[in-house]
Chain A
Amino acid sequence: DQQVKQNSPSLSVQEGRISILNCDYTNSMFDYFLWYKKYPAEGPTFLISISSIKDKNEDGRFTVFLNKSAKHLSLHIVPSQPGDSAVYFCAAPLRSYGGATNKLIFGTGTLLAVQP
């Protein structure tokens, strides 16, 4: 049962344009969402997050939008740069033991290629 889904395995965008990466989730108990960026042969790097009490969070060129009714979130990168080319993972913490611990549930990732 995939609780976090990224249905687009890849996305190609021209430099300077907007990149939009999508993520859907099924578990309505998720209260926080994170985006990670991953280069080959490296670990994921935290990018941006959003609490379920918000519908938007912005950090420089990166903005995450959350639509709780649709159980959908998206990451917007504006303007896109060649250095943004990487795999992007959407993730949500699944709480356990009354919130004493959590584990991250990851989507399968979207490979973003920004063409110069």
Chain B
Amino acid sequence: KAGVTQTPRYLIKTRGQQVTLSCSPISGHRSVSWYQQTPGQGLQFLFEYFSETQRNKGNFPGRFSGRQFSNSRSEMNVSTLELGDSALYLCASSLISTNTEAFFGQGTRLTVV
């Protein structure tokens, strides 16, 4: 069974640009969550999608958005990139929203210069 797949693995963007990251959850999993990992803040919850609906949102500005498709694949978008957005972005999938155990992808390392 394939795990959680995130693409791309690495990205370098310039301040002011926008970026789209992709996540394919484990087959059959309908819940996808996104987390940001930075050295200073650790792992911070961004948002969760279930059946194409955003079910939960963390404390991030509106520049961070996401969506989920009917096949459960998810994308997150960051607009007007800032230097502080440089981080490892992790996607996690669960069978359903209430599952406590989440399976993580390898992450996308975003560097904003």
* Chain A interfacial positions (CB closer than 8 Å to B): 32, 34, 36, 41-46, 49, 89, 91, 93, 96-97, 99-109
Cβ of B6: which chain A residues have Cβ within 8 Å of it?
43
Interface size on B, residues (CB 8 A): 27
With contacts A89-B43, A96-B56, A100-B55 taken as known, whether A42 is within 8 angstroms of B107 at the C-beta atoms is: yes
Question: Is A109 within 8 A of B100, CB to CB?
Answer: no
Cβ of A42: which chain B residues have Cβ within 8 Å of it?
106-107
Q: A107 CA to B42 CA in the complex, in Å?
A: 7
CB nearest to B49 among chain A residues: A101
Question: For residues 1 through 53 of chain B, which have their beta carbon under 8 Å from a beta carbon of chain A?
Answer: 4, 6, 31, 33, 35, 42-45, 48, 50
* Chain B interfacial positions (CB closer than 8 Å to A): 4, 6, 31, 33, 35, 42-45, 48, 50, 55-56, 58, 90, 92, 97-98, 100-107, 109
Question: Is B101 within 8 A of A102, CB to CB?
Answer: no
Question: Is A103 within 8 A of B106, CB to CB?
Answer: no
Partner of B90, one of A34, A44, A46, A96: A44
Cβ of A100: which chain B residues have Cβ within 8 Å of it?
55, 97-98
Contacts A100-B97, A103-B48 aside, 8 further interface pairs with beta carbons under 8 A come to A46-B101, A101-B55, A101-B56, A101-B97, A102-B56, A104-B43, A104-B92, A105-B45
